[in-house]
Structure 1
Amino acid sequence: MITRKPEDVSVHKNPHGVEAKKMYDYPSAIIIHLTLKPGESLIKHLTPTDVAFFVLEGKGIVQIGEERKEVDANTLIESPANVLHCWSNESKENLRVLVVKAPKPTQPSKYLEEPRQ
């Protein structure tokens, strides 16, 4: 049995410049534990595979295509492949989201801004 906790996984360098930890990384899927601190956001981008987001803690603004909505803990959000999406944390507390990409993308995401690394 393999078990992992976010605090035991190193931060993965990413174009968004936010805390992202790969919890699971296999061809069938990739799962990332994402933490957005107050005021942080992701770059608008398109991912070449379906993505499911599950809010673990906090609340944030998610945009999928033209829809923009505030969501909070215990909410699942679906984002189809190749549809523009992004997140922002406009609250005063951390936003923690589990990002599930299935299958694991074989092509890179397309970003609408320069990476923040």
Structure 2
Amino acid sequence: MESRFWKDLPLVRDKDGVRGTKIYSQPEGEIVHMYLEPGAKLPLHNTPVNVAFYILEGNPTIIIGDDEQSFAPDTIIDSPKNIPHGIINNSDKPARLLVIKMPKP
């Protein structure tokens, strides 16, 4: 059995109030724990694989293509490959979510 705590892992992103930690990385997929400070934004970008966002805490706004919506904890959102997507935390509290990429890019 292997286990790890996200706060103990190295950051893969630490910029503009957005911190990302790769908590799972295997050939079949990747999971990144994202932490967004209040007011932080992950700019729109494309990925060559499908992505799912699972909201852990807060009510971040997910942007996929021309759609933009805030989501509550325990919601999962699908983002098709090659469609621009981003995240904004418009609240005054931190937001945390998992970014699941299948297969691994």
- Calculate the TM-score normalised by the size of structure 1: 0.84
**Aligned AA for 1:102?**
M
Identity of aligned residues (%): 38
Rounded Cα–Cα distance in structure 1 between residues aligned with 2:45 and 2:86 = 7
| Paired residue total | 105
Query: Is the CA contact (8 Å cut-off) linking 2:17 and 2:36 kept in structure 1?
Result: no
Q: CA shift at 1:31, angstroms?
A: 0.4
Match of 2:48 in 1: 48
Q: 1:7 aligns to what SS in structure 2?
A: helix
Q: Larger deviation: 9-18 or 43-52?
A: 9-18
1:30 equivalent in alignment to 2:30: yes
| Runs of 4+ with deviation above 4 angstroms | 14-17
Rounded Cα–Cα distance in structure 1 between residues aligned with 2:15 and 2:78 = 21
In structure 1, runs of 5+ residues without a counterpart are 106-117
Rounded Cα–Cα distance in structure 1 between residues aligned with 2:34 and 2:42 = 10
- Calculate the TM-score normalised by the size of structure 2: 0.93
Rounded Cα–Cα distance in structure 1 between residues aligned with 2:47 and 2:77 = 15
RMSD of aligned residue pairs (Cα, Å): 1.5
**Aligned AA for 1:44?**
L
Q: CA shift at 1:18, angstroms?
A: 2.0
